[in-house]
């Protein structure tokens, strides 16, 4: 019978044995998987683990500050890197979804490599890979795939010469959450919805500007807070907002407006492979629509995505 405590004991012992006195560097995303993986490695080797958390300018509103703070509470040694401008520059003028992913992956590798260089004698790269990432092709879009395509180009960054340690690569998401709870990681991190590595960049259809990111952050914030305040957040696998590349006509007072449209998305899923749109209550959706249109400048229309996966995907890009 599998228990989280057994898994933790065995894994920590194995990590100690494998890593010994070596140093490990690890990129954190703010999500459940990398947080749990880092906490396990930290249990095994303590201060020899250095974590890197990058602000790519594509996170949710307030996410960078809040996540950095909660990592510090966990006792992790985290270096926060503000690289917003670097990512915005790398994305300027790019509209194609896969080109966006490549540009983000490349910028991330550069930033991470810079940081890894600052750690003397590091030998290992920690990763929060979980079992579905290993078996399934979400990784076609995921960070490991980006690393692979870079790999093919040649000229490996130094951190890629490191040996990889992936303590969660036999677990499913619900098991990762159980392990996280047994490690006493705050529920705020454990219960967090999955969020894609390229962040809001793949929820802004068309090219990325800082102004569009700010607009989407506000919309997303209202929606996510709304889900939390109405007790709906934990009933949803993943939720967010998408900024559409179109404008629509509206009316405000006696003025005609011509502004942006946002789509709200909330899905139920077990592993992200398939997903059903969630039948959120109409009065909740109505409330969200009013709040978003009243409070977010430049948005005059809200729609709700009622597509399931397949044939749609969870993200729009």
The only residue of 79, 138, 160, 303 in contact with ligand XMP, by rule CB under 6 A: 138
Name the DSSP letter for residue 191: T
Tokens coding 146: 């980006």
30 is in an annotated binding site: yes
Binding of ligand XMP by 313 (CB under 6 A): yes
Q: Shortest distance, CB of residue 197 to ligand XMP, whole angstroms?
A: 3
Min dist CB 215 to ligand XMP, Å, is: 20
Q: How far is the CB of 139 from ligand XMP (least distance, A)?
A: 9
Q: Which of 247, 246, 236, 216 is nearest to 276 (CA)?
A: 236
Q: Does 57 bind ligand XMP (CB under 6 A)?
A: no
State which of positions 163-202 bind ligand XMP (CB under 6 A).
194, 196-198
User: What is the total count of residues that contact ligand XMP (CB under 6 A)?
Assistant: 15
Name the residue among 9, 81, 7, 77 with its Cα closest to residue 38: 77
> Minimum Å distance from CB 143 to ligand XMP?
6
Cβ 104 vs Cβ 90: under 8 Å: yes
Contacts of 170 (CB under 8 A, 6+ apart): 131
- Judged by phi (left if over 0) then psi (alpha if -120 to 50, else beta), residue 116 lies in alpha
128 is a site residue for ligand XMP (CB under 6 A): no
Stretch that binds ligand XMP, among 8-16, 156-164, 244-252, 306-314 (CB under 6 A): 306-314
SS3 label, residue 281: coil
Q: Is 31 annotated as a binding residue?
A: yes
Q: Helices (DSSP H) in 20-168: which residue ranges?
A: 32-45, 63-73, 84-91, 97-117, 131-135, 138-141, 143-153
Q: Residue 309, interface with ligand XMP (CB under 6 A)?
A: yes
35 marked ligand binding residue: yes
Phi, psi angle pair for 125, to nearest 5°? -115, 120
The reply to whether 142 sits near ligand XMP by the rule CB under 6 A is yes
For residue 196, which phi and psi values (nearest 5 degrees)? -70, 145
Interface mask (CB under 6 A) for ligand XMP, residues 238-257, using x and -?
Answer: x-------------------
Contacting residue, 30, 126, 128, 143, with ligand XMP by CB under 6 A: 143
Interface residues toward ligand XMP, by CB under 6 A: 101, 138, 141-143, 194, 196-198, 238, 272, 309, 313-315
């Amino acid at each position: 019978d599998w228990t989280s405590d057994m898994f933790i004991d065995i894994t920590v012992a194995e990590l100690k044995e494998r890593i010994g006195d070596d140093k490990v560097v690890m990129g954190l995303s703010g999500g459940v998987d990398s947080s749990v993986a880092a906490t396990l490695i930290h249990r095994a080797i303590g201060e020899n683990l250095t974590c890197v958390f990058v602000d790519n300018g594509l996170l949710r509103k307030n996410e960078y500050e809040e996540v950095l703070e909660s990592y510090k509470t966990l006792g992790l040694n985290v270096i926060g890197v503000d690289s917003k401008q670097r990512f915005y520059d790398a994305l300027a003028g790019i509209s194609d979804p896969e080109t966006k992913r490549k540009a983000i992956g490349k910028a991330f590798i550069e930033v991470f490599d810079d940081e890894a260089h600052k750690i003397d004698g590091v030998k290992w790269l920690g990763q929060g890979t979980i079992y579905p990432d290993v078996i399934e092709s979400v990784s076609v879009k995921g960070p490991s795939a980006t690393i692979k395509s870079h790999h093919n180009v040649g000229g490996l960054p130094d951190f890629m010469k490191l040996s990889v340690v992936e303590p969660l690569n036999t677990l499913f998401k619900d098991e990762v959450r159980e392990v996280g709870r047994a490690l006493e990681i705050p529920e705020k991190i454990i219960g967090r919805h999955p969020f894609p590595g390229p962040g809001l960049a793949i929820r802004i259809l068309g090219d990325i500007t800082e102004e569009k990111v700010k607009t989407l952050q506000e919309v997303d914030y209202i929606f996510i807070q709304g889900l939390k305040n109405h007790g709906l957040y934990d009933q949803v696998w993943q939720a967010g907002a998408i900024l559409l590349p179109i404008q629509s006509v509206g009316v405000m007072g006696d003025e005609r407006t011509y502004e942006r449209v946002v789509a709200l998305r909330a899905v139920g899923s077990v592993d992200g492979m398939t997903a059903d749109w969630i039948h959120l209550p109409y009065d909740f959706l109505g409330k969200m629509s009013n709040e978003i249109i009243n409070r977010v400048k430049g948005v005059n229309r809200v729609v709700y995505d009622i597509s399931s996966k397949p044939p749609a995907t969870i993200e729009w890009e």
